[in-house]
Amino acid sequence: MAIKKLKNYKTDAFMTHSPFHFQEGYQIQIENRNKNCSHTEIDTLALKGLLNSVDFEILKLLGTYCYVNTHNLNYALNHTLPENYRKQDYKRNLKKLSDAGILLKLHLYAD
The pLDDT tens digits along the chain (111 residues) read 333 333 554 555 555 556 566 667 777 778 877 777 888 988 999 999 999 999 999 999 988 887 778 889 999 999 999 999 999 999 999 999 998 988 887 777 777
Would you state the pLDDT for residue 2? 36
List Cα–Cα distances, 36 to 13, 24, 96, in angstroms.
16, 28, 14
DSSP 85: G
Would you state the pLDDT for residue 75? 93
Q: Which residues of 53-91 are buried (b: 16+ CB within 10 A; e: fewer)?
A: ebbebbeebbeeeeebeeeebbebbeeebeeeeeeeebe
